[in-house]
Amino acid sequence: MHVRRLTGGLAAVCVVSLSLMGGQAVAGPLDEADTPLAARVLTYDAGGSAEFRSAVDRGAAIWNESVDAVELRPAGAGQRANIRVLADNGWPRALPTTLGNGTVYIGRQAVDQGYDTIRISAHELGHILGLPDRKPGPCSSLMSGSSAGTACTNPYPDTAEKAEVEGNFGGALVGRAPAAGAELIVD
């Protein structure tokens, strides 16, 4: 064991010494860690979102304006979407399957009570992007959801929420399963 360490150390010293004496340095290939990562593209199908289609598209656009690591795009014809968005008569909710995948329900119950449709859409998409509810919370926190009240129409994530999504999609965590107990998020 000690001989291996000594031999390895001696080899490293020799390599460094030779490279310093070898003349002009030449740039090597870029390390993948030094290359900026492209945004992870997630597609969504809002075909079942009925009267909330424009609110869903706006909620996706807000996330696209707010973060760099992920981009939400409408699914093309015949393309299987990462996210399905449906309208129903219940309360809004998200059913994430893995990070960036799942189903969002834009529930008419909250809309009938006066909650903003764009805020609902952005909030529920936030769950698919890995964010939990943060209740109670102020209107400035998108993930405070319904606890901010019906007067709150802020559809934008705050700085901490943006940073969390950037971290979620920054690399190795993509495709991970949601945290235990996070399978159904009802707001």
Active-site positions read: 124
Q: Quick check: 82 and 101 in contact, CB under 8 A?
A: yes
Strands 101-107 and 83-88: parallel
Nearest to 98 by CA among 64, 135, 127, 136: 127
The label of the residue with tokens 């093309």 reads 76
Separation between Cα atoms, residue 50 and residue 27, nearest integer Å: 56
Burial 41-67 (b: 16+ CB within 10 A, else e): ebbbbbebbeebbebbbbbbebbeebb
Residue 10 class from Cβ within 10 Å (0-12 exposed, 13-18 middle, 19+ buried)? Answer: exposed
